[in-house]
């Protein structure tokens, strides 16, 4: 169980460092993959296959991160469209 905690801590540390030069999409995808990998590693360790769990979790987290990115971009576009419409109405 101690090795699981170490893996999770390492993944979180790596995920939170080095994100300054990344785009929003890259940050969200990377964060999703890191969180998924950490969660998958924990679940995999409990079921007997840490690496498989981490790999599956990373893939699922990556997809989740990209979906969040798509949603956030949609919100930003709606805001910009509304702002521009408001500016034109004045």
Global pTM reads 0.71
Give the separation between CA 65 and CA 71, rounded to whole angstroms.
10
Q: Torsion over CA of 75, 78, 79 and 84, rounded to 10 degrees?
A: 160
Give the separation between CA 67 and CA 29, rounded to whole angstroms.
9
State the pLDDT at residue 15.
59
What pLDDT, in 10s, does the model give residues 45-57? Answer: 888 888 888 999 9
């Amino acid at each position: 169980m101690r090795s699981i905690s170490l893996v999770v801590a390492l993944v979180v540390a790596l995920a939170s460092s080095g994100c300054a030069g990344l785009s929003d999409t890259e940050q969200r995808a990377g964060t999703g993959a890191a969180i998924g990998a950490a969660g998958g590693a924990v679940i995999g360790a409990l079921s007997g296959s840490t690496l498989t769990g981490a790999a599956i979790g990373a893939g699922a987290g990556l997809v989740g991160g990209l979906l969040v990115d798509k949603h956030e971009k949609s919100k930003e576009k709606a805001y910009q469209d509304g702002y521009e419409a408001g500016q034109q109405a004045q």
